[in-house]
């Protein structure tokens, strides 16, 4: 295999009960990837970047289930209907379990963190997947190596979502190395574009890469490097008309770039269908001596192109060193040549460009020096680092804003805690919404999208149907009091002025439980160490960091991570949950007709 020795990493016997990946070469520089909250370092990296950092620096089966139901107790208006049942779109036959003497088992059974796009009868659901990882005995010495790291998967339909076929995205020059964080969009000529974290051809640097499909997502070309960036993370892609040449679609990618001075907002653009790219840093905030103000860390960009005007909108999260963080939004009317900030004018905010939020979730201990905001279930098992609580079943939460735009109108949703304190175990989580009718100069009052009754509503995805300008659709996870979850979609028929309870649908046909993602494996040197049941995936990662809804021609295509299926952990004396049957993650899909 070309360049194999540059990509494999060893799994030493000393690491049986510790981390999976060991060092194969030093990184060019060590850069900060954490923001300080109440004196604690909170790691901002995604699972995909963690995996890529570990490697490069060291240390078509469909399951048709029950029909979905409306939210319990709520009659549904006749204009909202389901088309078929929940479909599992990832091919379960690709999941594997590998076992090697002296090692805990490798359970490649995680598919989550979804992004979906559609054009005509072609629908493509993309996701992170551990089924694309493969371990072999080291051919040149002791231990084990990965000979395939394809963390980016897809399931494509050519019949309007009736059937799907699954595959993995190739890396640069066809290498079997890609690192996930999926984001997909489609142009007016039905060319699909997919952005992910990757590497350059020889594996010497991290990169943001883009794959293109010209056949509706059935097959994909090799990844093209949009930008070389060892610090790249949380990339997102958007496609839309050039503001000056409306007959041409531009492809844009934005991402977080971790640098020695903090994290910066990076930007790349292609005007030739993803063949060539230009890139630059568009925002590099400085530190501020006032901890309550935005600092030199940002992340979770979500670019959107107005398909009528070609205007590019770019919201992101900007962090303080105090409880309250912020959403900001950059706007470009000239295809990314220049940007200006939207103004939110929130009373009490010291800057008109800042939308204050408190990130949702409880701050818990997820292994050594790994503190995360999470949803969790089950009892506190105690023993967490810094006295924080610890839960075996947990999934990370982030504050990525959700955005859509149509002919100068901007629609924005986000999840926030109802507590004023960062990481509050007593806080609940809600989905909030605002709209601007003048391109981001003024906004409607904030309204809560989710119905009352459940403690947590997180990870919103927002979409508009261009053929139905009054309709706004927001999908999100709901966690119930018993710890189980569902996927819901709120629907507005008045441009987001209201989201009536009788237009909110329970899309998942059965509640699902969080899997064991934070299992203690303490050692003398690492007393707080934990592992995910799927040891390839970072601790406290389960449902991923987002889910996806896309409205096209009167239908809403929803794709989400779902844990209704189970797997039995292989019997292995080194495994703390040996022989236990538990939830595992798959990607499910539903068509909703909502007008």
Question: 55-68: per-residue pLDDT in tens?
Answer: 665 432 212 222 33
Strands ordered across the beta sheet of 177-178: 133-137, 144-150, 177-178
CA 7 distance to own-chain centroid: 25
Rounded Cα distance between 541 and 45, Å, is 12
Q: Which domain does 31 fall in, by range?
A: 4-594
For the residues 342-356, what does the mean pLDDT come to? Answer: 96
Q: What are phi and psi of 51, to 5 degrees?
A: -65, -45
Residues 263, 299 contacting (CB under 8 angstroms) = yes
Portion of the chain with pLDDT greater than 70, in percent: 90
For the residues 297-307, what does the mean pLDDT come to? Answer: 97
H or E stretch at 178: strand 177-178
Q: What CATH number is given to the structural domain containing 223?
A: 2.120.10.10
Q: Looking at residue 7, what is its pLDDT?
A: 35
**Number of domains observed in the structure of the chain:** 1
pLDDT (tens digit per residue) in 189-218: 999 999 999 999 988 999 999 999 999 999
For the residues 233-244, what does the mean pLDDT come to? Answer: 97
Rounded Cα distance between 259 and 594, Å, is 44
Sign, Cα dihedral of 282, 286, 292, 298: positive
- Which residue shows structure tokens 């470009």? 332
Q: How would you classify residue 336: left for phi > 0, otherwise alpha for psi between -120 and 50, otherwise beta? A: left
Portion of the chain with pLDDT greater than 90, in percent: 79
- Which residue shows structure tokens 């510790």? 18
pTM higher than 0.85: yes
Residues 440, 329 contacting (CB under 8 angstroms) = yes
For the residues 564-575, what does the mean pLDDT come to? Answer: 96
The total number of residues written for the chain in this structure: 595
Q: Looking at residue 34, what is its pLDDT?
A: 86
Contacts of 533 (CB under 8 A, 6+ apart): 107, 109, 515, 516, 517, 519, 569, 577, 582, 584
Tell whether the model's pLDDT for residue 9 goes beyond 50: no
Tell whether the model's pLDDT for residue 409 goes beyond 60: yes
- What mean pLDDT is reported for the chain? 89
- Which residue shows structure tokens 């659901």? 125
DSSP structure class, residue 198: E
Tell whether the model's pLDDT for residue 585 goes beyond 90: yes
For the residues 358-374, what does the mean pLDDT come to? Answer: 96
Token pair in block for residue 583: 């939830």
Rounded Cα distance between 63 and 68, Å, is 14
For the residues 18-46, what does the mean pLDDT come to? Answer: 62
* Three-state SS annotation for 3-22: CHHHHCCCCCHHHCCCCCCC
């Amino acid at each position: 295999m070309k360049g194999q020795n540059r990509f494999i990493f060893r799994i030493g016997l000393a690491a049986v009960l510790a981390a999976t990946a060991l060092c194969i070469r030093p990184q060019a520089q060590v850069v900060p990837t954490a923001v300080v909250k109440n004196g604690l370092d909170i790691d901002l990296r995604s699972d995909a970047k963690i995996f890529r950092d570990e490697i490069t620096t060291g240390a078509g089966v469909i399951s048709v289930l029950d029909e979905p139901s409306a939210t319990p107790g709520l009659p549904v208006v006749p204009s909202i209907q389901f088309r078929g049942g929940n479909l599992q779109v990832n091919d379960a036959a690709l999941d594997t379990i590998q076992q090697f003497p002296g090692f805990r088992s490798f359970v490649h059974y995680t598919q989550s963190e979804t992004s979906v796009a559609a054009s005509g009868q072609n629908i493509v659901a993309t996701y992170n997947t551990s089924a694309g990882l493969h371990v072999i005995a080291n051919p040149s010495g002791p231990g084990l190596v990965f000979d395939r790291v394809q963390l980016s998967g897809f399931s494509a339909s050519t019949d309007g979502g009736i059937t799907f076929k699954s595959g993995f995205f190739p890396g640069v020059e066809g290498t079997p190395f890609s690192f996930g964080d999926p984001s997909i969009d489609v142009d007016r000529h039905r060319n699909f574009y997919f952005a992910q974290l990757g590497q350059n051809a020889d594996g010497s640097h991290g990169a943001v890469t883009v794959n293109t499909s010209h056949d509706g997502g059935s097959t994909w070309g090799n990844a093209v490097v949009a930008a070389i960036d060892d610090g790249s993370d949380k990339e997102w892609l958007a496609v839309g008309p050039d503001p000056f040449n409306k007959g041409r679609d531009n492809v844009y990618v934005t991402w977080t770039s971790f640098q020695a001075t903090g994290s910066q907002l990076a930007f790349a653009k292609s005007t030739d269908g993803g063949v060539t790219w230009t890139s630059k840093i568009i925002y590099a905030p400085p530190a501020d001596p006032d901890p309550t103000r935005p600092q030199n860390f940002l992340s979770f960009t979500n670019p959107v192109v107005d398909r009528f005007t070609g205007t590019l909108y770019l919201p992101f999260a900007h962090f303080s060193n105090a409880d309250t963080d912020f959403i900001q939004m950059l706007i470009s009317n000239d295809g990314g040549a220049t940007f200006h900030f939207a103004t939110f004018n929130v009373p009490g905010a010291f800057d008109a460009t800042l939308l204050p939020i408190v990130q949702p979730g409880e701050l818990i201990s997820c292994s050594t020096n790994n503190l995360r905001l999470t949803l969790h279930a089950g009892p506190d098992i105690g023993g967490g680092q810094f006295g924080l609580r610890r839960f075996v079943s947990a999934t990370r939460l982030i504050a990525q804003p959700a955005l859509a735009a149509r002919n100068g109108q901007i629609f924005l949703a986000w999840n926030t805690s109802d507590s004023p304190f960062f990481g509050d175990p007593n806080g609940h989580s809600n989905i909030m919404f605002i709209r601007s009718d003048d391109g981001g100069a003024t906004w409607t009052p904030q309204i809560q999208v989710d119905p009352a009754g459940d403690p947590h509503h997180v990870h919103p995805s927002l979409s508009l149907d261009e053929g139905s300008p009054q309709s706004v659709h927001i999908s999100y996870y709901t966690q119930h009091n018993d710890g189980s979850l569902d996927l819901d979609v709120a629907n507005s028929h008045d441009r987001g002025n209201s989201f009536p309870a009788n237009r909110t649908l329970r899309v998942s046909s059965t509640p699902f439980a969080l899997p064991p993602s934070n299992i203690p494996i303490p050692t003398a040197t690492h007393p707080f160490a934990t592992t995910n049941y799927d040891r390839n995936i970072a601790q406290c990662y389960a449902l991923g960091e987002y889910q996806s809804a896309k409205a096209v021609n009167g239908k809403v295509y929803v794709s989400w991570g779902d844990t209704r299926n189970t797997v039995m952990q292989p019997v292995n004396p080194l495994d703390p949950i040996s022989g236990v049957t538990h939830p595992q993650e798959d990607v499910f899909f539903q068509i909703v007709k909502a007008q």
